Amino acid sequence: MKILLIEDDLRVSNLIQRGLNENGFHTELVYDGMLGLKLANQYEFDLIITDIILPKMDGLELCKKLRELNNETPILMLTALGTTDDKVEGFDAGADDYLVKPFEMRELLARVRALIKRKNNQHSNYNVIIKYDTIELNTQTKIVKREGRELSLTPKEFKLFEFMLLNPERVLMRSEISEKVWETHFDTGTNFIDVYINYLRKKVDKDFDTKLIHTKPGMGFILKREL
């Protein structure tokens, strides 16, 4: 498995590279965002690990540019910034997972393996249209429409909404959403999931008479025409 590591802190980058190599991964290490972007588009990697604060191009801009170029390589973002807003910004930029410094090597390895497993489990032979009520979601083109009107969703909003569409009329607990959509477990005190549900409501329900995304107090969320 080939990993691109973009980290300008020499001590941290060397520790990560050594830990990955010792666990059977081949790690290509660069120290700035511009070179990371060039290599990511020039060669095929199984995973990209990037810091946010980088010379020449920061990790957020790097993620955005890769996604704009339709580069779908999984991205694990490393940062010392760990608030909910910071995480939302990272995911909105196109990151697949987010690890706050300082972290243990075994946690990083667990995230790496989960992202690579997810990538390997994806099938390339599908062009699936998922429909519910007036919603139509195309899993290949990433286009979502309601009543024929296209909805502009970020990558993480799309993934969350896709999960809800695959599980309509069933209460989804926050823990299940964090596990299935982000393949991780957030602290019970975080309002991370609620933030994204509110984002979806503004785009999916706000301009339509029938509301589809509902909260079940003390339980979770449900996609249903009528609560």
Residue that is written with structure tokens 């990955």 in the block: 20
Distance CA 116, CA 164 (A): 23
Query: Strand, helix or coil at 52?
Result: coil
Distance CA 81, CA 26 (A): 27
Instruction: Provide the mean pLDDT of the chain.
Output: 88
2-121 against 129-223: fold identical: no
| Sign of the torsion angle spanned by Cα atoms 112, 115, 119, 120 | positive
CATH of 129-223, one of 3.40.720.10, 1.10.10.10, 3.10.310.10, 3.40.50.300: 1.10.10.10
Query: Strand, helix or coil at 72?
Result: coil
Query: Strand, helix or coil at 113?
Result: helix
For 27-34, what is the mean pLDDT?
95
Residue spans of the domains in the chain: they are: 2-121, 129-223
Using 50, 70 and 90 to split pLDDT, how confident is the model at 136? very high
Query: Angle between the 10-22 and 105-121 helix axes, to the nearest 10 degrees?
Result: 60
Q: Which residue has the higher pLDDT, 185 or 115?
A: 115
Distance CA 188, CA 186 (A): 6
pLDDT above 70 for 123: no
CA end-to-end distance (rounded Å), the chain = 46
pLDDT above 50 for 188: no
For 150-171, what is the mean pLDDT?
92
20: enclosing H helix or E strand? helix 10-22
Using 50, 70 and 90 to split pLDDT, how confident is the model at 185? low
Domain 2-121: give its CATH superfamily. Response regulator (3.40.50.2300)
pLDDT at 4: 96
Letter for the amino acid at 129?
I
Query: Which tens digit of pLDDT belongs to each residue from 85-111?
Result: 777 888 888 899 888 888 899 999 999
Distance CA 170, CA 166 (A): 10
